[in-house]
Amino acid sequence: MSDIYFDESIILFDLEGKSKEEVLTKIGNNLIEKNLVKEGFIDAIIKRESEYATGLPTKGVSVAIPHTDVEYVNRKTISVAVLKEPVDFGIMGEPKATIPIKLVFLLAMDEEHSQLSLLQKLMEMFQDEDTLKYLINENNKTKIKNLLESKLAFAFEGEE
């Protein structure tokens, strides 16, 4: 299952947005333009984020991992956005609390199982403060792509 789409075109730098909705819309539009997700994806991701927050107060750099149902996905992909200025997202498991997010990993998975496996691998990576700082400071998309492919190798090689 090495059909995951991941290249420099879905790594976004200095993404501007005043709200999580604006940020998710911009990332989602990029995926729609590439025909990786369906038209309803943006509304679905915003709705799910409002119901199940995905902000994580990780060391050094706070991240969010928004995702939604597989029915909105044309091709499995991970889009990474480094925000120009932090934007408040709800904290996972704390519905009323928010955290300023600088790094967004928007997941578009076409199978439930692959989403769970990827989330587990991302959570491991998010515990490495040096990796997160590297991701927000590096301005070479190819270097970011290569780092993420090595950290999340299973996702790109396929699963049983």
Model confidence pLDDT, tens digit, residues 132-146: 999 999 999 999 999
Top-confidence residue, 155 or 151? 151
pLDDT of the residue at 117: 75
Which CATH number is 8-157's, of 3.40.930.10, 3.90.1150.10, 3.40.50.300, 3.40.50.720? 3.40.930.10
Q: Which amino acid is at 9?
A: S
Q: Could you identify the residue written with the tokens 């120009």?
A: 84
In this model, does residue 68 exceed pLDDT 60? yes
List of E strands, the chain: 11-15, 55-56, 63-64, 77-91, 94-108
Which pTM does this prediction carry?
A: 0.93
Q: How far apart are CA 115 and CA 121, in angstroms?
A: 10
Q: How far apart are CA 30 and CA 10, in angstroms?
A: 7
pLDDT of the residue at 118: 80
CB 101 within 8 Å of CB 91: no
Q: What is the pLDDT of residues 76-110, one digit of tens each?
A: 999 999 999 999 999 999 978 999 999 999 999 88
CB 27 within 8 Å of CB 20: no
For 41-74, give the secondary structure using H, E and C.
HHHHHHHHHHHCCCEECCCCCCEECCECCHHHEC
Q: Taking Cα atoms as reference points, which of 56, 110, 102, 109 lies closest to residue 80?
A: 102
In this model, does residue 47 exceed pLDDT 90? yes
Reduced to 3 states (helix: H, G, I; strand: E, B; else coil), residue 109 is coil
153 by Cβ neighbours in 10 Å (0-12 / 13-18 / 19+) ranks as exposed
Q: So where are the chain's domains?
A: 8-157
Q: What is the pLDDT of residues 33-45, one digit of tens each?
A: 999 999 999 999 9
